[in-house]
Amino acid sequence: MRVLHGPVNIGNQPWVLSRHERQLGIDSELVVNYTPSLGYKADRVVSPLGWVSEEEMRARLLNGLRAPFDYDVLHYYFGRSLMYWDDYGSRNYLPFLDVEVARRLGRSIIFTLQGCDVRIAGDSTIRNRFTPCRAGHCTVFDTCLATLDDQRRHFIRDILPKADRVFFLNPELGHFLGRGEFLPYSSVEIDRFEVIPPVTGRPPRILHAPTNGEIKGTPAILEAIDQLRHRYEFEFVLVRNMTHEEALKAYQTADLVIDQVLAGWYGGFAVEVMAMGKPVLCYLREEDFEFVPKEMFADIPIINIRPDRLAADIAQALDRRAEWGEWSARSRQFVEKWHNPAGIAAALARVYEDPTAPLTLQKLS
């Protein structure tokens, strides 16, 4: 069985999955239209980002049209396919043509959706009291309302029905899709992370690492931290402008980690630090829990902090420092059970073999 992951590598999810699928004997590879960001890897890069020469366009066209003939399963991410050239603007001539060809050839088509590919910004603003989809939180919010939301609706209405299976990584996305299943992050090689529990004997070190501060709610987090400085002794570390390897070294020194407080779910960063045994604080939106397996929800070790009471919620976590050791152990156990890429790859392999097979997340421990 030949499996293609592509055409982007966001969050390193497709790369890690494809490596573990190879360990299961699947001929799996990641092909991207242009170089991934943040130093993430791919087996093959088709052409440079935004390079719209005749030669590069021909390379993408041939690559996209050949894929349905070369692979048994096409597993696409972030609402894109090899024939969707999001960096080409108006020259994106034949979007999703490869999906139509694959469908007619009887190939299996899988989409894993990751956030802003299908989150309808206008609807998220109406539905949620706290969301990154607001002016002042996201720099492209006005563009979402003007054009991108309609493009997302078109994708959901006209393209997703052609897929055999649809997965989403953020529970909120279930409200917009009408179909699909929640899939945990599998972007972290857990066994490569050493457990470094919180230390005692010094002021605790609180860490926050935003890739996009406005979307993560960083301004509100910084304000809450300032409110707490006169009541508690601690060190606050803000990780910015580092390579991924440099950031990982900084994460190892943390005692308490704040992830994000607007999206309503935790990100791949939280999985990394939980793999290190770090206690994590994050806003978890209760209205979205219906899309999360009950067993997984019961196991979540993350402390829920709300944007309207951040200082009080962080203070409660600081007051419970004696519990951080046990919290650390539960965090590592949680990612081993629910974010184990080997187990998720095995579950997806069954779906690749039979697109009607259930996704047996409860067996990933």
Residue 362 pLDDT level (bands cut at 50, 70, 90): low
Overall average pLDDT of the 166-195 stretch: 96
Q: Which has more pLDDT, 364 or 298?
A: 298
User: What pLDDT sits at residue 214?
Assistant: 87
User: What pLDDT sits at residue 170?
Assistant: 97
Residue 183 pLDDT level (bands cut at 50, 70, 90): very high
pLDDT above 90 (res 14): yes
User: What pLDDT sits at residue 56?
Assistant: 94
Q: What is the pLDDT of residues 231-278, one digit of tens each?
A: 999 999 999 988 888 999 999 999 999 999 999 999 999 999 999 999
DSSP string, 290-302: GGS-HHHHHH--P
190-338 shares the fold of 2-186+341-356: yes
Residue 211 pLDDT level (bands cut at 50, 70, 90): confident
Overall average pLDDT of the 174-197 stretch: 95
pLDDT above 80 (res 364): no
Overall average pLDDT of the 285-292 stretch: 96
Beta strands in 92-158 (DSSP E): 108-113
- Fold (topology level) of 190-338: Rossmann fold (3.40.50)
Report the DSSP beta bridge partners of residue 205. 235
Across the chain, mean pLDDT equals 95
Residue 38 pLDDT level (bands cut at 50, 70, 90): confident
Here the tokens at position 336 are 């081993």
In whole angstroms, give the CA distance from residue 76 to residue 225: 39
Q: What is the pLDDT of residues 108-162, one digit of tens each?
A: 999 999 999 999 999 999 999 999 999 988 999 999 999 999 999 999 999 999 9
The Cα-based distances of 238 to 62, 226, 235, 326, 354 in angstroms read 44, 13, 10, 25, 45
User: What pLDDT sits at residue 365?
Assistant: 46
Overall average pLDDT of the 193-212 stretch: 94
Domain boundaries 2-186+341-356, corresponding CATH code: 3.40.50
SS3 for 206?
Answer: strand
CB atoms within 10 A of CB 199: 13
CB atoms within 10 A of CB 61: 18
Residue 199 pLDDT level (bands cut at 50, 70, 90): very high
Domain boundaries, the chain: 2-186+341-356, 190-338
Q: What is the pLDDT of residues 51-102, one digit of tens each?
A: 999 999 999 999 999 999 999 999 999 999 999 999 999 899 999 999 999 9
> Does the global pTM surpass 0.85?
yes
